[in-house]
Amino acid sequence: MTLNKRNRFTTSALVGMSALSLLGSSFVVPAQADEPARSISVDAQQTQGLPGQFQTAYSKTNNKMWVAGAFLRANTVSTIARVNPETMKIEAAAELPVGRFGTGVQAGLTYMGAYGIAVDDVNNTVWVTNTRSNAVSVFDQDTMELIWTNYNVMESIPVIEHPRSVIIDNTHNKAYVTGRYNVWSVDLTSHEIKNLAIKPESDARVLTMNPTIDENAGLLYVPERSSDTVQIIDLNTFTVAKEFPVHADTAGTPILPSAVAIDHSLREIYISSQGTEGVNSGVTVYDLDTHAYKKSIPFGTRSLSIVNDEERDLVYVADFGSGSVGVIDAAAGKLVADVDTGERGANDLALANDGSVFAVDKATYAEDVYVPFALDYVTGQRVPGTSTNILGKETSIEANSFIRFAVETAPAQAADNSSAEQDTVTNTDGATVTGVKVAENGKDLVFSGTGWTTKDGEGSVLAAKFDMGGVSVLEPVTNPVNGKAIPNKTVYGVVQAGADGSWTATLPFPTPENSTATAEDWAAGTEHSVTFLSGSLTQNDNGRAVTFDFKVGAPAVAADPEVKVVTPAKVDFQGYPELTKTTDKDFTVVSFKDNNDSVIFHNEIQWLGEHSVAKGWGDGTYRPFENIDRGAMAAYMYRLAGSPRYRAPEESPFKDVPTDHVFYKEIAWLQQAGITTGWADGTYRPSEPIKRDAMAAFFYRAAGSPEFTEPAHSFKDVSNADIFHKEIAWMKENGISKGWEDNTYRPYENNKRDAMAAFVYRFAQNVTFEASAKK
């Protein structure tokens, strides 16, 4: 029979042991629902790490930790680092690729910041989510060379939106990426990308969090924050196979599940949840087969990352709110230690081959830190130092910390029965039986005796019966003298005394699993007897029958150890190494091949490209002399506003703009921001060229429809009869439109893409974008 690891802590006992042997029916004591927690000791160290640490991952093959760090949202300070897990020394740090960040007047040049990280040991690579660049990148573990990225400044739509975490599945040759509204699969070799929409019918901002893979079942478990559920994805079909709700200890308060871990031996799932203001924060436990809720282990105020050591049945959970890492004895379902990392911010965990845990936080550990991986936001040039400047704001660089700790376990402290009251019964010939007056419910019964010898002076052979034979064993016991089974099943056990007549017998507590006893008959408070008989099981023995009476008490409960609070010892920082260059490819260059010096608005078109307002076509052209249609105009306005966070509604605000239109999100945003009202018939007409008068209205509303006193004359071909005469006059007054040399505006002509570049550029230089849509 194969036992799972929970049964390692149960007893598989034969009926008794003595100077020679006590034999009987074998049985297994059922595992208890809540076992006593094991005693533990924790050895922890802490040292300076990277600025802006997010996640860490471990290479089992190379025995290296990998850490992703991105300081501040703009990613001017970012790297991935390869770390020795024993010494916490940073052995290598990457000079990440530089790309464009932000759109419109907020645009700049930054690293393709590293947030999520995972190791693919089969292909010797590291996968990184460039969250704010809407990209995923792959690096070589040894050289840190960039192998692949889906980042492309010319793409009109990011393939992967706001990627968070990445996890490797070598069985299916895939990496899985979580983020907004989807889970993506990326082939490890071909890099083909597929997306799986999560809850596409939901109006909430769906955010998939830190997943785990059940390799045995071929399933991906993905926590989903907005619905407080776990999505189970079949990896063979890449479809959602099932979901189950995450338990709330306090109903009605958001749970915000964040990470999942699985223990196959205990058949359990562990889910960490951030909760809300400390409510529903901690770990909830579920049955792996049924997904039924089993128990809650409250911890901290914002539990985030979770990993488990399946070999030792230990679970580790990082609490972002308190800055602690909790150690849970999974077999007992109890918190046994709290490793205090310092301030709030414990963010991610990884488990090493030796069972030690590596943690990264986001709390300030060191200030004014000199780093080699800092960039100038305007030029994109590397400027090592202790601060970073973003749009004129100088910010001191702060570093977080690495924490490494190892946990040693010891068996739980057994219940102390040494003070249990004992009694002795003496036979007329002086033979004795000694035992406890109150036996512990469910625990083996131990008796001893003296003076049990045969007429020849040898040790007697005794038969034991409970309740004068009222309890029978399910399997006959064996006579230790001749090795034969005793047909009488009321004989619960047999023991042979030593030559001096002394013996000790351990009898399993009678249960339905090993005898005819019922749980009710042997419940706490019931009274019983055990009789030891001699005379018939060996030659020339003396005939005796000594009965010992006892009572059944409640089960003794072993005391759980107190939760240990551990403060890591400080270790001197060992410095940042010289950066390893990852690529010579330039991701910052924007060059439309048809935008040359002969184009009158050459500089303005270049500005649009450099600020990611215009991305051009896939063939690298801008097509300056073509009309700009109303769909593209919406995209320009949205990007000029800084591409604000916005989720388009499930139902389109315009009947001629389907939700799968290439610029649906931008058009919906334009309408909700009040920049466009569309036509009276409910259409937007996205494919029509935008007229110069309507374009003026768009810009005026984007500026917040400011108070404006219209001059008597603006352009000679614009009168009060024109519907947008005020908006056109405002354009001239603010230097956005100059008109033609003959002082005409030509309001009903189509707008060309070169002229639109000039309008956008002048708006950005002269006016503040005020309009905004509801997020």
| Of 430, 490, 433, the residue nearest 463 (C-alpha) | 490
Helices 630-640 and 664-672 sit at what angle, rounded to 10 degrees? 70
What is the reported pLDDT for 374?
Answer: 96
169, pLDDT greater than 80: yes
Q: What is the pLDDT of residues 532-571, one digit of tens each?
A: 999 999 999 999 999 999 999 987 666 677 899 999 999 9
623, pLDDT greater than 80: yes
| Of 308, 335, 306, 310, the residue nearest 319 (C-alpha) | 306
Determine the average pLDDT of the residues in 637-647.
91
Measured CA to CA, the distance from residue 98 to residue 110 in angstroms comes to 5
Determine the average pLDDT of the residues in 428-455.
94
Measured CA to CA, the distance from residue 316 to residue 56 in angstroms comes to 14
Q: Amino acid identity of 148?
A: W
**How would residue 411 be classed by pLDDT, with cut points 50, 70 and 90?**
confident
689, pLDDT greater than 70: yes
Determine the average pLDDT of the residues in 698-716.
91
Instruction: Identify the three-state secondary structure at position 164.
Output: coil
7, pLDDT greater than 60: no
End-to-end CA distance of the chain: 59
Domains of the chain, start order: 5-33+417-553 (2.60.40.10), 39-411 (2.130.10.10), 602-766 (no CATH)
As a residue count, the chain comes to 775
What is the reported pLDDT for 562?
Answer: 86
Beta bridge partners of 407: 42
Phi first, then psi: give them for residue 563, nearest 5 degrees: -65, 120
What is the reported pLDDT for 617?
Answer: 84
What is the reported pLDDT for 6?
Answer: 30
What is the reported pLDDT for 413?
Answer: 67
Phi/psi-derived region of residue 666, left when phi > 0, alpha when psi is between -120 and 50, beta in every other case: alpha
Measured CA to CA, the distance from residue 329 to residue 200 in angstroms comes to 38
- Given a contact cutoff of 8 angstroms between Cβ atoms, the answer to whether 345 and 328 are in contact is no
Sign of CA dihedral 333, 335, 337, 340: positive
Determine the average pLDDT of the residues in 694-706.
95
Measured CA to CA, the distance from residue 447 to residue 10 in angstroms comes to 22
Helix (H) or strand (E) holding 761: helix 753-766
Q: What is the pLDDT of residues 283-300, one digit of tens each?
A: 999 999 999 999 999 999
Q: What is the pLDDT of residues 496-520, one digit of tens each?
A: 999 999 999 999 999 998 999 999 9
Paired tokens of 84: 């020795």
Q: What is the pLDDT of residues 462-479, one digit of tens each?
A: 999 999 999 999 988 888
8, pLDDT greater than 50: no
**How would residue 201 be classed by pLDDT, with cut points 50, 70 and 90?**
confident
Q: Amino acid identity of 17?
A: M
**How would residue 640 be classed by pLDDT, with cut points 50, 70 and 90?**
very high
592 exposed, middle or buried (CB, 10 Å; 0-12, 13-18, 19+)? buried
- Given a contact cutoff of 8 angstroms between Cβ atoms, the answer to whether 228 and 280 are in contact is no
| Of 318, 310, 386, the residue nearest 358 (C-alpha) | 318
- Given a contact cutoff of 8 angstroms between Cβ atoms, the answer to whether 732 and 692 are in contact is no
Paired tokens of 282: 């901690």
What is the reported pLDDT for 419?
Answer: 65
